[in-house]
Structure 1
Amino acid sequence: MVLKRQQNTLSPNHTENVIDNSSGENILKKGNSSEFIFYLLKIILLYFLANYKTTFSNGPGLKDFLSENPVDHSCLTSDNTPYLSSLDGNKQNVFLEIYGCQMNVNDAEIVSSILIKNNYEITKNIEKANIILLVTCAIREKAEHKIWSRLLHLRSLKKQYPNLKIGLLGCMAERLKHKIVEEEKIVNIVAGPDSYKDLPRLLQTSNDKEVAINVQLSMDETYADVSPVRLNSESKTAFVSIMRGCDNMCTYCIVPFTRGRERSRPMESILNEVQELSDKGIKEVTLLGQNVNSYRDISQSNFYQYTKAKTNLAKGFKTVYKNKEGGLRFSDLLDNVSKINPEIRIRFTSPHPKDFPDEVLDLIAERRNICQQIHLPAQSGSSTVLTRMRRGYSREAYLELVYHIKSILPEVMLSSDFIVGFCDETEDEFEQTLSLMKEVDYSSAYLFAYSMREKTTAHRRYTDNIDKTVKLERLQKLVQLYRSKVESLYKKQIGQYQLVLVEGESKKGSHDLQGRNDGNIKVIIPNTSIPECKDSPSYRPIKNGDYIVVNINYANSQILKGIPMYHSSIRNFNCIYQ
């Protein structure tokens, strides 16, 4: 449609009806050039305003537009949307394989919920599957190699069952979408972390000739309206995603490019989910996020509008982005979650060291159901390497935070992440990482040799110039040091009475049970009957989800072992031993 406009009949002289030109002459006579310039600009502005007012008043209106383009309103209100009925899964069996971090476990539970709602069924038997979905990780090269290797094995299965559909979900799907489509002809569906709601459509539109792809990243998708389906119905622990994405832009990290910008779930939806888990008998909830303690709920517009306080950072830490204002913070969420049920343990991962203001630490000290175990990723012990990594802190600031945390939480268990062999890392810089490991008593650590990821800042700015052999040698040194340190830390716990949440049978057999203490350390106990409470003559068996007081009598670098004393609870244990 072409909108016809009437020709403008307003002459420039029309401005004489608006402003008396003599005023301009008076200004010039006074010799005030700045006032004269302002006067001319005013004339020009009023001319254009009058011009456009006349043009649009004489032009076609909304009714003219609608009359030339009539709209069939019946199509807007019709319930007969053709593609909706085709999204039914017809009870097809879906098999999920999960790789990588806890976020992928939670994502798999979200995917399960979406598919079940669309009449698919989740199976634990791959031989019964009509669809196989791999929930992938791309944070390190080794993680991607596992997926490529798995796809090789699935080729034979695809030949055996030609109608079998195979999909790649998650971070690797977003990062390597083109390579996957070009090299792996067996893949039918490629879906990024923010497109899981589109899976029913992707599954219906894909076939052997066409790959269905949606890897679009979102600025607001948090799946707050999806209730995850717990894949392990017998487990008494659960993961709850509270935020997605990352804004930190560390130079080595692919996460901002595969999972997008930070956005947080509304607090109300999180509290509702935790309450539901409590009602179902869950005994431990882990709050999840790429930067879990960067949580900032701005969904409540009134609260956000009138609360403009800046984010409190730990001393000596900074961000690459402007300090964010307003919203409900992680301390607000932690406060409310911990009040839902004092007999549910609360953990959170993975945090960034910068987001540990005192209000978070004080809350952990106050609430006995918030575990005194903090993940504090260092990545390196060298300030120069940390600068190249763009971590936003120095070695000194990190150590100051460690000692500050321990001053508030004397019994805290700290865990960490380390990367060796980052771009240009010298022997001296690596030695500083070793010295940091010696100085801080970590109860757990995730240690890796650096692998460069495409799209990252390091890929654009630096060279992966540390020989692979050197990387592995440094990694081995760090692993050996860590094992000796952690074994010493664990042995100091022999003789202690600890509260252990039983998670099930030990991997070595049903005669032993395993669980975790407050510090998230695995504890092995014999499978036997014990008193119902301290000094009780009544005995009962230990079952999954029980809180047990355990006397630790053995330790190595991986586990603790102990004697189960009696059944207890978080509150009762703290009344006796704290």
Structure 2
Amino acid sequence: MSLITSRLEILKEEDKKDLDVARVSVDEESSNKRKLYIESYGCQMNFADSEIVASILRENGFATTSKIEEAELILLNTCAIRENAEQKVRNRLQHLVPMKKKRQQVKIGVLGCMAERLKTKFLEEEKIVDMVVGPDAYRDLPNLINEVEDGQKAVNVFLSREETYADITPIRLDSNGVTAFISIMRGCDNMCSFCVVPYTRGRERSRDPFSIVKEATELFEQGYREVTLLGQNVDSYKWKGVNGELNTTTFANLLEMVASINPDLRVRFSTSHPKDITDDVLYAMKKHENVCKYIHLPAQSGSSRILDLMNRTYDREWYMGKIDRIREILGVECGISQDMITGFCTETEEDHHDTLSLMDYVKYDYGYMFAYSERPNTPAAKKLTDDIPAEVKNRRLTEVIAKQQLHSLERNQMAIGKVHKILVEGFSKRSAEHLCGRNDQNKMVVFPKENFKKGDYVNVLVTECTAATLIGKAVEEVLV
């Protein structure tokens, strides 16, 4: 995978999981159920959606398998955020052609954002696809499967203003049994000019807080010790009371509700839009020790001119002021990560250097960095010209990546000599004699396993680091 044309996450070496595709790793014991295989591409929201799909289909006679050759139903849950992401799905479908020819009874469905964007056109272009299902139509899957089994092609890409799947208990796929995602809202009302999400996932709607707290409580009772609250923009979460209730639940309120379930349940969240994260959220993070001191705060560019073209609704100085506020309330050690796009329409060298200088100002812990990829039907595609040559986009991306690597190392070096509370997620990928887990700032820490096990909280003294990983040893001292 090219670091130039693909998303790169500068983070933990122990966490180098391919974020563009995750295959089902749960084999459910069942001799009388049909086998379902799911692949999820793209963001954490898609992975969480796949868990909802698995739950819906379990109630309709399916059991998940990690072996694609056993599957009677193959579903690809897709991403449309970049051309590269869509091409991966098309390539995967071509790899499935021989299987489809040998086992014509196998049904193949495309779910998610790419399904919604291309709709019926997808069935015409990819002949082996039997059904196309958008992100808000998963409840209709049993009916669509029946249509396919009757010899028809099936499509449902209807976007809902109400659907949140609040009443569905997800089946945890590819789970370590310690950490889990909880979707708290769906859709997006921000009309960033480069982004296709509002058109593939619809308008914002928040899930009721009581179902969220119930799901988090059940996860804790099942042995999970960390939940990540997910949304395209969690800070705009807002639940208005029904049946005469007058109270409105904000994201800060919700954060406190989930944090209050148990002090041993860690709480994270993603993603935050800079314009919506409030002091109330920051003070809720400060108040509760089990709310992790880490914020993913996408900047997208360091140039006010480019930010205006992107319709991000803030400028460079405003963003820097938000960073200052985070540091003021939560301290300099609060982890902050970024999204950054290079080579957006009309971007000049001066604009690019504004991005580099913003990175110098913030010194992000890690980041997700991309060369701009024009998406059809977005405001940018309709109104702006994608006029930056690929070689320029890629050179600028290389410079942004190099800058982030320096900052990641610098930020990690700040952890040396300090004790961090680590939640053990499992064995290190490099050694069965070492465990790994994350600290408060979402950084992976590796240390000798001794007598510790997955799900334990361990105080670890960090003794060394790379730009991607902290390395240390367990100690008895209290966290400082």
TM-score scaled by length of structure 2: 0.91
Amino acid at match of 1:156: P
Map Cα deviations across residues 468-521 of structure 1 (whole Å, 9 max, x no partner). Answer: 111000000100111011111111211111111111112223222211111000
Q: Offset at 1:207?
A: 4.8
Cα drift, residue 264 of structure 1:
0.4
Point out where structure 1 has 5 or more consecutive residues left out of the alignment: 1-88, 308-326, 529-540, 567-572
1:279 and 1:208 map into 2 onto residues whose CA distance is 42
For residue 548 of structure 1, what is the aligned residue in structure 2?
458
For 1:542 and 1:126, how far apart are their aligned partners in 2? 35
The residue aligned with 2:142 is 200
In the other structure, the counterpart of 1:129 is: 71
Gaps of 5+ in 2: 1-30
Task: State the distance in 2 between where 1:137 and 1:552 align.
Answer: 37
Alignment match, 1:355: 276
| 1:7-58 Cα deviation digits (max 9, x unpaired) | xxxxxxxxxxxxxxxxxxxxxxxxxxxxxxxxxxxxxxxxxxxxxxxxxxxx
User: 2-side partners of 1:371 and 1:199: how far apart?
Assistant: 36
Check if 1:505 corresponds to 2:447: no
Match of 1:406 in 2: 327
Residue number in structure 1 paired with 2:474: 564
Match 2:163 to one of 218, 221, 232? 221
Structure 2: how far apart are the matches of 1:554 and 1:234?
26
Work out whether residues 37 and 66 of structure 2, in 8 Å CA contact, stay in contact via their aligned partners in 1: yes
One-letter code of the match for 2:366?
A: S
Please tell me the residue identity of whatever aligns with 2:479. Y
How far does residue 334 in structure 1 lie from its aligned partner after superposition?
A: 0.8
Q: How many residues get paired?
A: 449
Match for residue 93 of structure 2?
151
Alignment of 1:43-82 (within 5 A): none
Report deviation, 1:197: 0.4
1:381 equivalenced with 2:325 (yes/no):
no
Q: CA deviation at 1:444?
A: 1.4
Residue in 2 that maps onto 1:459: 381
Cα drift, residue 564 of structure 1: 1.9
1:370 and 2:275 aligned: no
Amino acid at match of 2:133: A
Deviations 1:396-437 (A, max 9, x none): 000011011101011211111101111111110011000001
Tell me by how many angstroms 1:116 deviates: 0.3
Instruction: State the alpha-carbon separation in 1 of the partners of residues 470 and 176 from structure 2.
Output: 24
In the alignment, the residues of structure 1 paired with residue 64 and residue 415 of structure 2 have an alpha-carbon distance, to the nearest angstrom, of 42
Structure-2 separation of matches of 1:115 and 1:90: 14
Q: Percent identity?
A: 48
Contact 1:188 1:207 in 2 (8 A): no
1:493 to 389, 411, 415: 415
Q: Do structure 1's residue 577 and structure 2's residue 479 form an aligned pair?
A: yes
CA distance in 1, matches of 2:240, 2:329: 29
Measured against aligned partners, the alpha-carbon deviations of 1:264-296 in whole angstroms (never above 9, x if no partner) come to: 001111111111111111100000001111100
Specify which of 256, 262, 266 is matched with residue 345 of structure 1.
266
| Alignment partner of 2:401 out of 479, 488, 498 | 479
- Taking the TM superposition and a 5 Å limit, the aligned residue runs for 1:14-53 are none
SS in 1 for 2:377: coil
- 2:125 equivalent in structure 1: 183
Larger Rg: 1
**Residue matched to 2:203:** 261
CA contact under 8 A between 1:188 and 1:208: conserved in structure 2?
no
Is 1:438 aligned with 2:364? no
Greater RCO structure (CA 8 Å; 6+ sep): 2
| Equivalent-residue separation in structure 1 for 2:32 and 2:202 (angstroms) | 33
Q: Which residue of 1 aligns with 2:55?
A: 113
Distance 2:391 2:126 in 1: 31
TM-score, normalised on structure 1? 0.76
1:281 to 213, 223, 235: 223
Aligned to 2:340: 418
Task: Look up the equivalent residue of 2:111 and give its one-letter code.
Answer: L
- Is it true that 1:526 corresponds to 2:468 in the alignment? no
Query: Does the residue aligned with 1:577 lie in a helix, a strand or coil?
Result: coil
Q: SS where residue 446 of structure 2 aligns?
A: strand
Write the letter of the residue equivalent to 1:451: S
Secondary structure of 1:549's partner? strand
- CA distance, structure 2, for counterparts of residue 469 and residue 483 of structure 1: 21
Shift of 1:213: 0.6
The Cα shift of 1:233 comes to: 5.1
Q: 1:565: how far off?
A: 2.2
Residue 168 of structure 1 pairs with residue 70 of structure 2: no
| Matched residue, 1:391 | 312
